[in-house]
Amino acid sequence: MVGLEILVKIDPEKRVEFLQAFEMVKHIDQLNVSRIELELFEEVQRPNTFLWLEHWDCNESLSNYCLDNKFRAMMGAIDVLGQLVHKRSFSIREEKEDA
């Protein structure tokens, strides 16, 4: 499994536009089960700072998603709506607990 982490700081007056744009991204891969999880968190101490996390079944699925025009448009929108702090992908290793 792989993950994608995007941290953004959005201008307060553009918050609603960002959240609406994020709704569009949520549905990019709606019919494809490759995306396992998608979450958006807002930092309590820094309003309008959002952490966007996704988990994907494999690196190929994540790479294809990042090439999607809607995803790329969202990355461009972030430049208009605020600032990209960082974007990174990572590998996830699940460990099972002993029963």
- For each of the domains in the chain, give its residue range(s) and CATH number, in order of start: 2-91 (3.30.70.100)
Find the DSSP H helices in 12-96: 15-26, 59-67, 69-81
Which pLDDT does position 31 carry in this prediction?
Answer: 52
Which pLDDT does position 65 carry in this prediction?
Answer: 87
Local confidence pLDDT in tens for the 99 residues of the chain: 999 999 999 999 999 999 999 988 887 655 566 888 999 999 999 999 999 999 999 999 899 889 888 889 999 999 999 999 999 999 988 777 765
Contact by Cβ (8 Å): 71, 18: no
Angstrom distance (rounded) from CA 12 to CA 92: 33
Structure pTM? 0.86
Which pLDDT does position 68 carry in this prediction?
Answer: 84
Q: Percent helix, strand and coil across the chain, each rounded to 5? A: 35, 35, 25
Contact by Cβ (8 Å): 85, 5: no
